[in-house]
Structure 1
Amino acid sequence: MLKRWMRFAAFLDDGRICLSNNAAERALRGFALGRRAWLFAGSDRGAARAAAMATLITTAKLNAVDPQAWLADVLARLPAHPARRIDELLPWTWAPPQQTQSAA
Protein backbone atom coordinates (compact mmCIF):
# COMPACT_ATOMS: atom_id res chain seq x y z
CA MET A 1 0.00 0.00 0.00
CA LEU A 2 2.82 2.38 0.77
CA LYS A 3 4.21 1.95 -2.74
CA ARG A 4 0.85 3.05 -4.19
CA TRP A 5 0.05 5.78 -1.66
CA MET A 6 0.32 8.68 -4.15
CA ARG A 7 -2.26 7.10 -6.46
CA PHE A 8 -4.46 6.06 -3.55
CA ALA A 9 -4.52 9.57 -2.09
CA ALA A 10 -4.98 11.35 -5.43
CA PHE A 11 -8.62 12.15 -4.57
CA LEU A 12 -7.35 14.52 -1.88
CA ASP A 13 -5.77 16.75 -4.53
CA ASP A 14 -8.45 16.43 -7.20
CA GLY A 15 -12.08 16.71 -6.13
CA ARG A 16 -13.30 15.21 -9.43
CA ILE A 17 -11.99 11.77 -8.51
CA CYS A 18 -14.72 9.59 -7.06
CA LEU A 19 -14.07 7.63 -3.88
CA SER A 20 -15.98 4.61 -5.12
CA ASN A 21 -16.52 2.72 -8.35
CA ASN A 22 -20.32 2.80 -8.07
CA ALA A 23 -20.73 4.62 -11.40
CA ALA A 24 -18.72 1.95 -13.23
CA GLU A 25 -20.63 -0.86 -11.55
CA ARG A 26 -23.96 0.79 -12.38
CA ALA A 27 -22.91 1.08 -16.02
CA LEU A 28 -22.11 -2.64 -16.18
CA ARG A 29 -25.26 -3.73 -14.35
CA GLY A 30 -27.34 -4.07 -17.53
CA PHE A 31 -24.82 -6.42 -19.07
CA ALA A 32 -24.66 -8.52 -15.91
CA LEU A 33 -28.46 -8.80 -15.78
CA GLY A 34 -28.68 -9.76 -19.45
CA ARG A 35 -25.95 -12.37 -19.25
CA ARG A 36 -28.38 -15.29 -18.99
CA ALA A 37 -30.41 -14.13 -22.00
CA TRP A 38 -27.26 -13.63 -24.07
CA LEU A 39 -26.06 -17.12 -23.25
CA PHE A 40 -28.25 -18.41 -26.06
CA ALA A 41 -27.31 -15.96 -28.81
CA GLY A 42 -27.72 -18.77 -31.32
CA SER A 43 -24.20 -18.72 -32.70
CA ASP A 44 -20.88 -16.96 -32.48
CA ARG A 45 -21.99 -14.60 -35.24
CA GLY A 46 -25.18 -13.83 -33.32
CA ALA A 47 -23.15 -13.03 -30.20
CA ALA A 48 -20.83 -10.79 -32.24
CA ARG A 49 -23.85 -8.93 -33.65
CA ALA A 50 -25.32 -8.50 -30.17
CA ALA A 51 -21.99 -7.10 -28.95
CA ALA A 52 -21.85 -4.69 -31.91
CA MET A 53 -25.37 -3.45 -31.20
CA ALA A 54 -24.59 -3.02 -27.50
CA THR A 55 -21.52 -0.99 -28.48
CA LEU A 56 -23.55 1.25 -30.81
CA ILE A 57 -26.25 1.83 -28.20
CA THR A 58 -23.73 2.59 -25.46
CA THR A 59 -21.84 4.97 -27.75
CA ALA A 60 -25.06 6.83 -28.51
CA LYS A 61 -25.84 7.10 -24.78
CA LEU A 62 -22.34 8.39 -24.02
CA ASN A 63 -22.87 11.11 -26.63
CA ALA A 64 -26.22 12.17 -25.11
CA VAL A 65 -28.16 10.83 -28.10
CA ASP A 66 -31.40 8.86 -27.81
CA PRO A 67 -30.30 5.42 -29.10
CA GLN A 68 -33.74 4.47 -30.45
CA ALA A 69 -34.17 7.72 -32.40
CA TRP A 70 -30.60 7.56 -33.69
CA LEU A 71 -30.84 3.94 -34.86
CA ALA A 72 -34.24 4.48 -36.48
CA ASP A 73 -32.99 7.54 -38.39
CA VAL A 74 -29.66 6.00 -39.41
CA LEU A 75 -31.22 2.73 -40.58
CA ALA A 76 -33.80 4.66 -42.63
CA ARG A 77 -31.21 6.96 -44.24
CA LEU A 78 -28.43 4.41 -44.73
CA PRO A 79 -29.51 2.88 -48.08
CA ALA A 80 -29.52 6.25 -49.86
CA HIS A 81 -26.65 7.84 -47.93
CA PRO A 82 -23.31 8.21 -49.77
CA ALA A 83 -20.52 6.06 -48.31
CA ARG A 84 -18.06 8.96 -48.37
CA ARG A 85 -20.30 10.89 -45.94
CA ILE A 86 -20.86 8.04 -43.48
CA ASP A 87 -19.26 10.08 -40.69
CA GLU A 88 -22.39 12.27 -40.62
CA LEU A 89 -24.33 9.32 -39.21
CA LEU A 90 -22.02 8.63 -36.27
CA PRO A 91 -23.54 9.38 -32.86
CA TRP A 92 -21.14 12.23 -32.05
CA THR A 93 -21.91 14.09 -35.31
CA TRP A 94 -25.53 13.02 -35.87
CA ALA A 95 -28.26 15.62 -35.68
CA PRO A 96 -31.89 14.60 -35.37
CA PRO A 97 -33.91 15.23 -38.52
CA GLN A 98 -35.85 18.48 -38.55
CA GLN A 99 -39.56 17.81 -38.31
CA THR A 100 -41.64 19.85 -40.69
CA GLN A 101 -44.45 21.79 -39.11
CA SER A 102 -47.76 21.22 -40.78
CA ALA A 103 -50.10 24.13 -41.24
CA ALA A 104 -52.98 23.90 -38.81
Structure 2
Amino acid sequence: MSAEESAKQRRKISYPTILIFEKWINETDARVLPKSRLGEALAYAYSLLSRLSCYVNDGRINIDNNLIENAIRPLALGRKNYLSCGNEASAYRAAIVFSLIGTCRAAGVDPRTWMEDVFSKLPYWQRDGKDLAGLLPRSWAKENQIDQSSTN
Protein backbone atom coordinates (compact mmCIF):
# COMPACT_ATOMS: atom_id res chain seq x y z
CA MET A 1 0.00 0.00 0.00
CA SER A 2 1.37 3.43 -0.91
CA ALA A 3 1.95 6.14 1.69
CA GLU A 4 -1.01 8.12 0.34
CA GLU A 5 -3.34 5.11 0.53
CA SER A 6 -2.11 4.32 4.01
CA ALA A 7 -2.75 7.90 5.18
CA LYS A 8 -6.23 7.80 3.65
CA GLN A 9 -7.03 4.54 5.49
CA ARG A 10 -5.68 5.97 8.74
CA ARG A 11 -7.82 9.09 8.42
CA LYS A 12 -10.83 6.87 7.82
CA ILE A 13 -10.19 4.28 10.54
CA SER A 14 -7.71 5.65 13.11
CA TYR A 15 -8.70 9.31 13.27
CA PRO A 16 -12.20 8.63 14.69
CA THR A 17 -10.60 6.42 17.35
CA ILE A 18 -8.18 9.19 18.26
CA LEU A 19 -11.09 11.63 18.59
CA ILE A 20 -12.93 9.20 20.89
CA PHE A 21 -9.76 8.80 22.97
CA GLU A 22 -9.32 12.58 23.20
CA LYS A 23 -12.94 12.98 24.32
CA TRP A 24 -12.45 10.28 26.96
CA ILE A 25 -9.30 12.01 28.23
CA ASN A 26 -11.11 15.33 28.55
CA GLU A 27 -14.13 13.80 30.30
CA THR A 28 -12.03 11.72 32.68
CA ASP A 29 -9.57 14.52 33.40
CA ALA A 30 -12.40 16.69 34.68
CA ARG A 31 -13.20 14.08 37.35
CA VAL A 32 -9.72 13.34 38.73
CA LEU A 33 -7.18 15.31 40.69
CA PRO A 34 -4.46 16.75 38.43
CA LYS A 35 -1.64 15.57 40.74
CA SER A 36 -2.99 12.02 41.07
CA ARG A 37 -1.32 9.26 39.09
CA LEU A 38 -4.28 9.08 36.73
CA GLY A 39 -4.40 12.86 36.38
CA GLU A 40 -0.71 12.98 35.46
CA ALA A 41 -1.13 10.06 33.04
CA LEU A 42 -4.05 11.80 31.35
CA ALA A 43 -2.08 15.04 31.04
CA TYR A 44 0.82 13.12 29.53
CA ALA A 45 -1.42 11.28 27.05
CA TYR A 46 -3.11 14.53 26.07
CA SER A 47 0.24 16.21 25.47
CA LEU A 48 1.14 13.46 22.98
CA LEU A 49 -2.12 13.55 21.00
CA SER A 50 -0.79 16.12 18.55
CA ARG A 51 1.95 13.69 17.56
CA LEU A 52 -0.69 11.18 16.52
CA SER A 53 -1.80 13.59 13.80
CA CYS A 54 1.56 12.94 12.13
CA TYR A 55 0.78 9.23 12.11
CA VAL A 56 -2.71 9.81 10.71
CA ASN A 57 -1.64 12.25 8.00
CA ASP A 58 1.63 10.66 6.86
CA GLY A 59 1.45 7.07 5.65
CA ARG A 60 5.22 6.67 5.88
CA ILE A 61 5.26 6.96 9.68
CA ASN A 62 4.84 3.87 11.86
CA ILE A 63 2.67 4.13 14.95
CA ASP A 64 5.37 2.45 17.01
CA ASN A 65 9.14 2.31 17.09
CA ASN A 66 9.45 -1.49 17.12
CA LEU A 67 11.95 -1.47 14.25
CA ILE A 68 14.31 0.75 16.22
CA GLU A 69 13.78 -1.14 19.47
CA ASN A 70 14.51 -4.44 17.74
CA ALA A 71 17.61 -2.92 16.18
CA ILE A 72 19.03 -1.75 19.52
CA ARG A 73 18.02 -4.84 21.52
CA PRO A 74 21.34 -6.62 20.83
CA LEU A 75 23.17 -3.59 22.19
CA ALA A 76 21.10 -3.62 25.36
CA LEU A 77 21.57 -7.37 25.78
CA GLY A 78 25.33 -7.07 25.35
CA ARG A 79 25.75 -4.12 27.70
CA LYS A 80 27.77 -6.14 30.24
CA ASN A 81 30.12 -7.29 27.50
CA TYR A 82 30.74 -3.72 26.43
CA LEU A 83 32.11 -2.89 29.86
CA SER A 84 35.24 -4.70 28.74
CA CYS A 85 36.04 -2.02 26.14
CA GLY A 86 38.88 -0.94 28.39
CA ASN A 87 38.37 2.80 28.50
CA GLU A 88 36.00 5.58 27.52
CA ALA A 89 37.68 6.28 24.17
CA SER A 90 37.40 2.62 23.15
CA ALA A 91 33.76 2.52 24.21
CA TYR A 92 33.10 5.67 22.18
CA ARG A 93 34.67 4.11 19.07
CA ALA A 94 32.72 0.88 19.61
CA ALA A 95 29.48 2.88 19.86
CA ILE A 96 30.24 4.54 16.53
CA VAL A 97 30.86 1.18 14.87
CA PHE A 98 27.65 -0.30 16.34
CA SER A 99 25.72 2.74 15.15
CA LEU A 100 27.08 2.38 11.62
CA ILE A 101 26.26 -1.34 11.59
CA GLY A 102 22.71 -0.58 12.74
CA THR A 103 22.39 2.07 10.04
CA CYS A 104 23.56 -0.46 7.44
CA ARG A 105 20.95 -2.95 8.56
CA ALA A 106 18.22 -0.29 8.52
CA ALA A 107 19.25 0.65 4.97
CA GLY A 108 19.25 -2.97 3.78
CA VAL A 109 23.02 -2.97 3.31
CA ASP A 110 25.32 -5.82 4.31
CA PRO A 111 27.58 -4.23 6.95
CA ARG A 112 30.66 -6.24 5.96
CA THR A 113 30.33 -5.38 2.25
CA TRP A 114 29.78 -1.72 3.11
CA MET A 115 32.78 -1.57 5.47
CA GLU A 116 35.12 -3.29 3.02
CA ASP A 117 34.13 -0.90 0.24
CA VAL A 118 34.15 2.25 2.37
CA PHE A 119 37.49 1.48 4.03
CA SER A 120 39.07 0.93 0.62
CA LYS A 121 37.66 4.25 -0.70
CA LEU A 122 38.13 6.40 2.40
CA PRO A 123 41.73 7.60 1.88
CA TYR A 124 41.04 8.65 -1.71
CA TRP A 125 37.63 10.08 -0.86
CA GLN A 126 39.13 12.48 1.67
CA ARG A 127 42.06 13.34 -0.61
CA ASP A 128 39.65 14.31 -3.40
CA GLY A 129 37.71 16.55 -0.99
CA LYS A 130 34.45 14.63 -1.35
CA ASP A 131 31.75 14.92 1.31
CA LEU A 132 31.99 11.99 3.74
CA ALA A 133 28.18 11.85 3.86
CA GLY A 134 28.41 10.12 0.49
CA LEU A 135 29.91 7.09 2.23
CA LEU A 136 27.13 6.71 4.80
CA PRO A 137 25.10 3.51 4.33
CA ARG A 138 21.99 5.04 2.72
CA SER A 139 24.02 7.17 0.30
CA TRP A 140 26.30 4.23 -0.41
CA ALA A 141 23.28 2.01 -1.13
CA LYS A 142 21.93 4.52 -3.65
CA GLU A 143 25.33 4.86 -5.29
CA ASN A 144 25.70 1.08 -5.48
CA GLN A 145 22.04 0.57 -6.45
CA ILE A 146 21.18 -1.59 -3.46
CA ASP A 147 17.43 -2.33 -3.22
CA GLN A 148 16.22 -0.72 0.02
CA SER A 149 12.51 -1.47 -0.49
CA SER A 150 12.60 -4.48 1.82
CA THR A 151 13.54 -2.34 4.83
CA ASN A 152 10.93 0.44 4.48
Rounded Cα–Cα distance in structure 2 between residues aligned with 1:90 and 1:24: 18
The structure with the largest helix share of the pair is 2
Q: Stretches of 4+ moved more than 6 A in 1?
A: none
- Structure 1 contact 57–67 (Cα < 8 Å) conserved: yes
Structure 1 segments unaligned to the other structure (5+ residues):
98-104
Rounded Cα–Cα distance in structure 2 between residues aligned with 1:25 and 1:87: 25
Percentage of matched positions with identical amino acids: 35
More off after superposition, 40-49 vs 80-89: 80-89
- Following superposition, the deviation at residue 33 of structure 1 comes to 1.8
Note the alpha carbon deviations across 1:1-30, whole angstroms, 9 max, x for none: 44325846x59x848524xx6444322210
TM-score normalised over the length of structure 2 = 0.49
- Structure 2 contact 71–102 (Cα < 8 Å) conserved: no
Structure 2 segments unaligned to the other structure (5+ residues):
1-40, 146-152
TM-score normalised over the length of structure 1 = 0.67
AA at the equivalent of 2:104: A
Secondary structure of the structure 1 residue equivalent to 2:112: helix
Matches within 5 A, 1:1-104: 1-3=41-43, 4-5=45-46, 7=48, 10=52, 14=56, 16-18=62-64, 22-81=66-125, 82-85=127-130, 86-94=132-140, 95-96=143-144
